[in-house]
Amino acid sequence: MLAEEHCQTYHWVQNNGRSYLQLPVLNHPGVFHLFGTRFLGNSDLEHYKPIRLRQVHGDRVQPVPKAPISALLQAIEGDALVTEIPNRFISVGTADCVPILLSDPVKRVTAAIHAGWRGSVRNIADKTVQKMIAVYGAKPENIFAGIGPAIHSCCFEVASDVVAAVEKQTPHAHAVLHQESEKQEEGKWQLDLIRLNRLQLLGAGVPTDHIASAGLCTSCLPNLFYSFRRDKKKRGNMVSGIMLL
């Protein structure tokens, strides 16, 4: 395992009753971001007027249209948002899936990604970086990436259907799947979604020291995060987002 994958640098922010996390790697003048927790409700976020996608576990990356925010709420289908427009808090909702926030503070372009295993094996992080470059003129060497709280490999056990998808659709199977010896008979593997997304970002040209993960497993930390897998049903979503000021 690479040393930088152990990076667990995050700040816990308490601001006017709102509780959220920030990753210092994304802190640049003129850019605001947050990763939600159980203690950040929708009403706490009203102030930011979050733009949300109708998330479908796909790989579609959507630019934010030049339209009033009120026309955009849940109107766009996809799993990543990209924008260069200031005061647009682009956001994703997750409860195990990986929230990834991107920023090119030089070109002033931001992106928010919802990367579940389906989106991750379809390279949504790489596709989002490519969109930032192709449509908005971002440079990969100027892009910073924050990977928020998500289910880690400790708790993300998958079966042969997911293993087959990872092997077929990504070149990273050997790096992101491992099998505990006692799980061999059951055919169960542990999947590292954090590493899979990090490898895609690196492959897209984002420098390794520009990528940070909170290092927090949603399933391991019930007091802080919702977890779809742990709770066996949808109890809530954490909202994470980023905005150019």
Sites of contact with Zn ion (CB under 5 A) = 152, 154-155, 217, 219-220
Work out how close the CB of 14 gets to Zn ion at its nearest, in angstroms, rounded to a whole number. 25
Q: ∠ CA 56-146-195 to the nearest 5 degrees? A: 75
The residue among 48 and 225 lying less far from Zn ion, judged by its C-beta, is: 225
Rounded-to-integer distance, Cα 119 and Cα 157, Å: 17
Closest to Zn ion by CB, 63 or 99:
99
Q: Which is nearer to Zn ion, 52 or 195 (CB)?
A: 195
Residue 31 or 95 having the CB closest to Zn ion:
95
Q: Which is nearer to Zn ion, 163 or 220 (CB)?
A: 220
* Least distance (Å) between residue 152 CB and Zn ion: 5
Nearer to Zn ion, 108 or 152 (CB): 152
Q: How far is the CB of 241 from Zn ion (least distance, A)?
A: 24
Contact 114, 99 (CB under 8 A): yes
**Measuring CA to CA, which residue among 82, 9, 25, 10 is closest to residue 211?**
25
Closest CA to 135 of 63, 241, 242: 63
Cβ nearer to Zn ion, comparing 88 with 152: 152
Spatial separation of the C-alpha atoms in residues 31 and 51, rounded to whole Å: 16
Nearest distance from residue 154's CB to Zn ion, in Å? 4
Hey, what are 30's tokens?
């003129």
On whether the CB atoms of residues 224 and 149 are closer than 8 A, the answer is yes
* 8 Å CB contact between 151 and 227: yes
For 185, residues 6+ apart whose C-beta sits below 8 A from its C-beta are: none
To the nearest whole angstrom, how small is the minimum distance from the Cβ of residue 217 to Zn ion? Answer: 3
Strand partners, 20: 13, 36
**In the complex, minimum distance from the CB of residue 176 to Zn ion, in angstroms, rounded to a whole number:** 15
CB of 231 to Zn ion, least distance (A): 13
Q: Distance between CA 80 and CA 85 in Å, rounded? A: 15
